[in-house]
Copies of this chain bind each other. A is one copy, B any other.
Amino acid sequence: MPHDGPSVARATVPRRFATADGRGAFLEGDNVAGLDELLRDGSGSVTLAYLDPPFDTGRVFETQGRLAVDGVSVAYDDRWSDRAAWLEALASRLTRIRELLAPHGSVVVHVDSRTSHYVKVLMDELFGEENFASEIIWRYRRWPSKTRNYQRVHDVMLRYRKDARVEGRWNPLYEDLAPSTKATWGTRKQKAVVDATGKRVRSMSEDQESKGVPMGDVWDIGVVAPVARERTGYPSQKPEALLNRLITGLSNEGDLVIDPYAGSGTTAAVAWKLGRRFVTMDSGEASREVVRARLGAIGAELLDDPREEISKDPRKEVAA
């Protein structure tokens, strides 16, 4: 019984929850409505948007195992009539996100290796090809499946800048030197030596310790282990290490990070820990409860936040 996901037309105003200090918020309801809510006075306010939409797998996912949420089993429904419908739903989120992004901001979409291509063609149109920044490969390890093919062990994340002409947010990250480099050079910096004619003659190592090599676009990060403390029971949970690299590299403290597909709340939890502001959204009860528990455990209890108070933005009233 394929359907086309939650109706885009549904105009229900999302229910809002927020941390006591207002640094983080969860909007319960359709994320199109949630994004529209943000757009009311938040155009250009977002530094980083991370989207982890359902991958068009044609399946229904449920909360699992010992951590299953009581009385709530369906986490999300990933059945679509066809790819065009799936892409259209994604596009309606992305156009709103483009509006929300600050000039220095960027958006990262997480997809699998069967759908990334269609998403990039779409995003090249929406954001402009000149704003494509990276195809990031998440390489993980898992149990082997019986297949006469190379095992599928990677996901893809596509990053676009809002505007490549503007200097975007960027905090350099480093990773370990390659084993062969360590063997030859130790962990000291290399320095090219040039002769009088400008020709390179050799490299030598400096006294200074190298910070490692600048982070590449292939990330080897383990999946969240079935028994890890980090695990919430929500399906397809992403590792905190993954979000850490994105949020640290692409936003500063105090910046606003959004995630329209909250799921288990990894983006919110990492953003909070890193001192970023966040807004995350999900229509499922399962998500709301998992996120509430997860944030509570790190001192960011979500409280009911009546809309009336939120809509009173002093600047708006002055402007009117």
Contacts and interface: CB of A to CB of B under 8 A. Distances in A.
A26 interface: no
B134 A218 contact: no
B249 A150 contact: yes
A117 B116 CA distance: 7
Given A118-B121, A217-B154, A113 B135 contact: yes
Contacts of A152: 134, 216-217
Counting chain A residues whose Cβ lies within 8 A of the other chain, the interface size class is 35 or more
Interface stretch (A32-40, A136-144, A278-286, A305-313): A136-144
Interface in A109-156: 113-114, 116-118, 120-121, 132-137, 139, 141, 144, 147-154
A213 interface: yes
Interface in A136-184: 136-137, 139, 141, 144, 147-154, 167-168, 170, 173, 178, 180-181
Given A113-B217, A178-B141, A148 B120 contact: no
A218 B217 CA distance: 12
Contacts of A136: 150
A42 interface: no
Given A116-B117, A178-B141, A216 B170 contact: no
Interface in A213-233: 213-218, 222
A18 to B, nearest CB: 32
Contact of A148 (B117, B144, B154, B168): B168
B154 A218 contact: yes
A285 B168 CA distance: 45
24 contacts: A113-B135, A113-B217, A114-B132, A114-B135, A116-B135, A117-B117, A117-B121, A118-B121, A121-B121, A133-B149, A135-B154, A136-B150, A141-B213, A144-B213, A148-B170, A150-B214, A150-B217, A150-B249, A151-B213, A151-B217, A152-B217, A153-B216, A154-B216, A154-B217
